[in-house]
Amino acid sequence: MRLGIIGLPNSGKTTIFNALTHQNLATGAATSGQFEVHTAVVNVPDPRVEKLIAMYKPKKTGYATVTYADIGGLDKGISEGGLKGQFRNELSQVDGFLHVVRAFKDDTVPHPYETVDPQRDLEILDSEFLLSDLVIVETRLEKLQNEIRIKGKNVDKFVPVELELMQGFKAHLEAERPLLELEITPEEAKAIRGYGFMTLKPVLVVANLGDEAVDVNSILKYNRAGSKLVALQGKIEAELSQLEPADAEMFMEEYGITELSAAKVIRLSYELLAIQSFFTVGEDEVRAWSVAVGATAPEAAGAIHSDLQKGFIRAEVMAYEDLITGGSEAALKASGKFRLEGKEYIVNDGDIVHIRHSS
């Protein structure tokens, strides 16, 4: 899972990036339009892994991971003529966005538009992405129409189909609505994957607060499909991320923070992107893996290694809660809760899976 952290200059993007990744990058804003990106891979916090480690005492441990990309240089007007080059490449590679909007006042950090207005700032980049997608659609429509005009009846049969799809996209974007609201079939999604539409990506909106906690719904309204809202005290949490766990816990209590931002944001991101975790266990290694909600057992095998998916025979499956309650694999087998599943099995969050496969 790769998430792009975006926002206007001086919104506190890098502060949020530091809080999530335990980095300590300088937080000066990049010049508007100047491409800049920092990435970090973070382990997904999961107390279930710790309990499995205690049970199996493995030689190695592996956590599911998430990659954060702090993407600088976005501002009003950036999409004029369509996003290009490094901007488009980086933005198109992410699975979703963490859109940081400024909700704090600080005279030492001037706002690029003078006043603090989270709703306005949120809508600025939303509008830029809508415009960027519209430029792509209009360019593609022109090419499709030219192809039909030139080839006539000899045109590829898929061209009229794509033309109709793009016309629907154009109407939706001109109504200032994101493409994620449309019902797109798996076949259509596959056909348009290469276009890198920005408004097809889910968005977790992060209101970057000052020293005081505020109900995010009191400062932002955002009811778009594929979106969630969360408020974080970015500066405080970035400082907490640099402390030892015991010291951080003491300060969290002082500031009324019940959960560090990394765990909260990852959990909300999993929900937003419809991702879940399953586990592989043994004396050699206990490891968590990420897979889409609704994935089959062979697809879960593919998350581990492509050869396992190709040679998939069956999956040995235990539910995490059953294993913890039973206390051992032997107890689960005795109770009939150790299962053999085939290719049609839909993996559940917390499943413990061992893949049987051909060499």
Q: Which residues of 329-341 are buried (b: 16+ CB within 10 A; e: fewer)?
A: beebeeeebbbeb
pLDDT in tens, the chain (359 residues): 899 999 999 999 999 999 899 888 877 655 555 678 899 999 988 999 999 999 999 999 999 999 999 998 888 888 777 777 777 888 889 999 999 999 999 888 889 899 999 999 999 999 999 999 999 999 999 999 999 998 888 888 888 888 999 999 999 999 999 999 999 888 888 888 888 899 999 999 999 998 877 888 889 999 888 899 999 888 888 888 888 888 888 888 887 778 777 788 888 988 889 999 999 999 999 999 999 999 999 999 999 999 999 999 999 999 999 999 999 999 999 999 999 999 999 999 999 999 999 97
Q: In angstroms, rounded to a whole number, what is the distance separating the alpha carbons of residues 11 and 24?
A: 17
Cα distances from 243 to residues 19, 61, 70, 215, 250, in angstroms, run 11, 24, 22, 26, 10
| CA triple 148-150-151, angle to 5 deg | 65
* Domains of the chain, earliest start first: 2-45+63-113+201-272 (3.40.50.300), 128-199 (1.10.150.300), 294-357 (3.10.20.30)
Strand partners, 207: 101, 231
pLDDT at 187: 85
Residue 320 structure tokens: 């995490």
pLDDT at 28: 60
Q: In angstroms, rounded to a whole number, what is the distance separating the alpha carbons of residues 98 and 79?
A: 19
pLDDT at 193: 85
Residue among 137, 232, 203, 251 at smallest CA distance from 3: 203
pLDDT at 34: 64
Cα distances from 39 to residues 67, 92, 112, 356, in angstroms, run 7, 15, 25, 36
* H or E element at residue 229: strand 227-232
pTM of the model as a whole: 0.88
Report the sign of the C-alpha dihedral through residues 262, 268, 273, 277, in that order: positive
Residue 29, amino acid: A
